[in-house]
Amino acid sequence: MTQTLTIARPDDWHLHLRDGAMLQAVLPETARHFARAIIMPNLVPPVVTGADATAYRDRILAALPDGMAFEPLMTLYLTEDTDPADVEAAAATGLIKALKLYPAGATTNSASGVSNFDNVRPVLEKMAEIGLPLCVHGEVTDNDIDIFDREAVFIDRVLDPIRKATPGLKVVMEHITTKDGVDYVKSNAENLGATITTHHLIINRNHILVGGIKPHYYCLPVAKRESHRIALREAATSGDARFFLGTDSAPHTDPNKLSACGCAGCFTATNTMALLAHVFEEDGALDKLEGFASKNGPSFYGLPVNTSTLTLTKSDSATSFPGKIDTPDGSVTVFDPGFPVHWDVA
C-alpha cells in the first residue's frame, strides 16, 4: 500500500554548500527538494562583506543544474571588523537574510569568529534596528568547559547577555542539541527561534561512540544523551512555530572524516525529507511536518511560504538511498539513519 503526503515545498534554514567542485556536487542534492536555504558563510576565507556574498551567490547560481530552481539566502560571517553600514546595505537590497555568529574556534572554519562580544555591539544594534536576524552557533569554546556542556553554558554566559543588551535583536539558535536549548526558546516569547537538524532527531551520543567510533555521526554541536534527543523530537513535532528545520548538512570528503583528527559534519541533504517523514510518523505527528519544514522558517524570517509543493510517498519496500555522493575532491558519505526508511520523495 502506498501512502502519500504533499506539503508546501520545504526550505533549509542552515546549510553548508562549500565552493568549487564540492558546491557543484552537493548543490543538486539540496535543490532537488528544497526551494531555498540559508547558506552558511564559513568558507576559507569566510564570506564577510556584501561583496563577498554577491560573488558567492553568483557562484552558487552558476553551479545550479539547468532546470532546477533554488534560491540561496545569503549570510555574512560576523567578525569583530564587520561594518554596520555594509550590513545595512546588503540587507536593504535583499541580498543577505542574516548574520552568522561563530564563537572563535567553535567549529569548522571558525577562526575568524568573535572573541570579544563588546566589539560587535554596534553591528548587533544595527541588526536589531533593521530586523536582520542573528544566526548563532551556540557553543562556548573555553577549554575548561566539557564539550557536552558547551551549549548550556553558552546560553547563560553569552546568549542571554547578548539578548538582554540588545532588545529587539532577532536570534536563531542554530542546530540546538539540548533540552536546555529547547527550554530557553520556549521561555522567551519574543524574537527567538531555533533550528533543529535531522540527524539530532535520530542519533544520541551512543550512536557515535558505542561499539566502535562512527566518524560519520560526528558533528558539532556533538549529539548529546538520549533525554536531550527526546526533548528535540518533542519540540520539532509539537507544532510550536519557533522550531524549524535547519539540516546543517555539512559535506566533508571521506578521507577528511575517516582520519585520526576527523572533520565534524553530517551530510543529510540527500535523504533529509524522507528521514523527517519517518521521524514525524513515528511520533504520530505527520501533520506537523509541513510546519517544521515549510512554514515556521518563512514565518520567522518574514518570507512567504513556497507556493510549489513536495510530495512524499511511503511504500512497503524500504527506500534505498545512495551511500555516497561522488565529487572530484573525493566521496561524501550520506547520513545513514541505521534503520529502514519507507518514505521517499515522489
219 interacts with ligand NCD by CB under 6 A: yes
Q: Helices 20-31 and 50-63 meet at what angle, rounded to 10? A: 70
107 interacts with ligand NCD by CB under 6 A: yes
CB atoms within 10 A of CB 176: 29
Partner from ligand NCD, Zn ion, none binding residue 181, C-beta < 5-8 Å depending on class: none
248 interacts with Zn ion by CB under 5 A: yes
Q: Which is nearer to ligand NCD, 42 or 306 (CB)?
A: 42
User: CA-CA distances (angstroms) from residue 306 to 120, 204, 247, 249?
Assistant: 34, 32, 18, 21
Whether 329 is catalytic: no
Closest approach, Cβ 276 to Zn ion, in A, equals 18
For residue 66, the SS3 value is coil
User: Using CB under 6 A, which residues numbered 1 to 20 contact ligand NCD?
Assistant: 16
264 interacts with ligand NCD by CB under 6 A: yes
Out of 11, 86, 240, 248, which one is annotated catalytic? 248
Closest approach, Cβ 99 to ligand NCD, in A, equals 15
Task: Say how far apart CA 73 and CA 83 lie, in whole Å.
Answer: 20
**Residue 245 corresponds to which cell in the numbers above?**
528545520
Partner from ligand NCD, Zn ion, none binding residue 57, C-beta < 5-8 Å depending on class: none
Partner from ligand NCD, Zn ion, none binding residue 152, C-beta < 5-8 Å depending on class: none
Half-sphere exposure of residue 148: CA atoms within 13 angstroms, side-chain side: 8
What residue has cell string 567510533?
213
Q: Which is nearer to ligand NCD, 98 or 250 (CB)?
A: 250
Query: For residues 242 and 185, is the Cβ–Cβ distance under 8 A?
Result: yes
Chain contacts with Zn ion (rule: CB under 5 A) = 248
Q: Which residues are catalytic?
A: 248
